[in-house]
């Protein structure tokens, strides 16, 4: 296991042992749910378990109980990558928002958690590896390994704002003319996903563009189109000149092989068509 994560787990667990029970329940999760959950060994905790243990709503435990599970959630992200949506989202929220974030800082744990998140970003952006999954009906889908986790990390950092520089610096570095080809390819994938979000929530995005800064709209858009809140990132999303430069950098490298070319060409086609794989709002 990674030394940064191991050290953080050790530091947190020295101060806060594993709780025998969680104080706040019968809200999103019942007392029975939490008792059964706490019977699981740390290594058996799954993604949805972390949704309960470090709940974004904070309704399942006090800080001194939930903090025990926070570094374990980041370790879960490291091990399971794309299958760690809840662990990733709840972890970023915990260190970014509200009283729990303040207490993490008071305890002196914040630098360690920030280092771990930075490490996870580096880890999941270290390559552009296309894998295949075969479904029961015989269909084969290709996907970029670790991409969903990377995107979730970046979007949550942008949405919850406190540590947004980890995301903005990563994205801007990917857009640099000197960025590695695999970073250029990952940014193309990010741009496609973000363009889909902008199109899907187009009515609300237009209201924002037209000057509506109501708190309700800002809160909603920050959760569904987080790049919109950051002009330097927003400017990248529909920058066709940048997109062409990213294509060129990738295709002049040896990153795209015969095996990965169908996925890459399909991604480019989806971007050029400007269509989204779901229903956009009216």
pLDDT at residue 22 in the model: 86
Return the beta strands (E) in the chain as ranges. 130-134, 140-144
Q: What is the mean pLDDT of residues 91-110?
A: 96
In our burial notation (b when 16+ CB lie closer than 10 A, e otherwise), range 107-142 reads bebbebbbebbbbbbebbbeebebeeeeeeeeeeee
Residue 46: pLDDT band with limits 50, 70, 90: very high
Ramachandran region, residue 16 (left: φ > 0; alpha: ψ -120 to 50; beta: rest): beta
pLDDT at residue 137 in the model: 64
pLDDT digits (tens, 9 = 90+) for 156-180: 999 999 999 999 999 999 999 999 9
Stretch among 47-56, 96-105, 126-135, 272-281 having the lowest mean pLDDT = 272-281
Please report, for the chain, the start and end positions of each structural domain, with discontinuous segments joined by +.
Answer: 3-124, 135-273
**Structure-token pair, residue 101:** 């974030």
pLDDT at residue 282 in the model: 46
pLDDT at residue 8 in the model: 96
Q: Is a pLDDT exceeding 60 seen at residue 280?
A: no
132 DSSP assignment = E
The 3-state DSSP class for residue 235 equals helix
278 DSSP assignment = S
**Structure-token pair, residue 33:** 């749910």
Q: What is the mean pLDDT of residues 207-233?
A: 90
Burial class (CB in 10 A: 0-12, 13-18, 19+), 202: middle
CA distance 207 to 216: 12
pLDDT digits (tens, 9 = 90+) for 72-81: 999 999 999 9
pLDDT at residue 230 in the model: 96
**Structure-token pair, residue 196:** 């889909």
More confident residue, 18 or 34: 18
Q: What is the mean pLDDT of residues 193-208?
A: 92
Q: Is a pLDDT exceeding 60 seen at residue 1?
A: no
DSSP assignment of 26-49: SSSS-HHHHHHHHTS-GGG--HHH
pLDDT at residue 142 in the model: 79
pLDDT at residue 135 in the model: 58
Residue 195: pLDDT band with limits 50, 70, 90: very high
Q: What is the mean pLDDT of residues 17-40?
A: 83
CA distance 228 to 222: 7
How crowded is the C-beta side of 154, counted as CA atoms within 13 Å?
29
Q: How far is CA 208 from CA 54, 167, 202, 217, in A?
A: 32, 22, 10, 8
């Amino acid at each position: 296991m990674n030394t940064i994560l191991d050290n953080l787990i050790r530091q947190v667990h020295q101060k806060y042992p594993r709780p025998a029970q969680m104080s706040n329940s019968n809200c999103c999760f019942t007392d029975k749910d939490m008792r059964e959950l706490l019977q699981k060994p740390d290594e058996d905790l799954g993604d949805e378990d972390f949704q309960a243990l470090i709940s974004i709503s904070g309704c399942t435990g006090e800080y001194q109980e939930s903090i025990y599970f926070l570094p374990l959630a980041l370790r879960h992200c490291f091990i399971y990558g794309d299958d760690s949506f809840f662990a990733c989202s709840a972890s970023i929220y915990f260190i970014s928002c509200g009283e729990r974030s303040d207490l993490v800082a008071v305890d002196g744990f914040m630098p360690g958690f920030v280092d771990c998140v930075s490490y996870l970003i580096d880890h999941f952006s270290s390559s552009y590896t296309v894998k295949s999954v075969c479904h029961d009906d015989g269909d084969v889908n290709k996907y970029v390994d670790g991409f969903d986790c990377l995107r979730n990390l970046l979007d949550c950092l942008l949405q919850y704002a406190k540590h947004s520089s980890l995301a903005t610096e990563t994205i801007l570095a990917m857009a640099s003319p000197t960025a590695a080809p695999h970073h250029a390819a990952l940014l193309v994938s990010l741009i496609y996903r973000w363009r889909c979000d902008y199109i899907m929530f187009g009515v609300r995005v237009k209201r924002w563009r037209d000057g509506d800064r109501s708190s309700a709209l800002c809160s909603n858009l920050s959760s569904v189109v987080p790049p919109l809140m950051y002009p330097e990132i927003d400017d990248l999303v529909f920058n066709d000149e940048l997109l062409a430069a990213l294509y060129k950098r990738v295709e002049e490298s040896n990153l795209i092989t015969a095996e990965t070319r169908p996925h890459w060409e399909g991604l480019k086609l989806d971007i050029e068509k400007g269509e989204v794989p779901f229903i956009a709002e009216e």
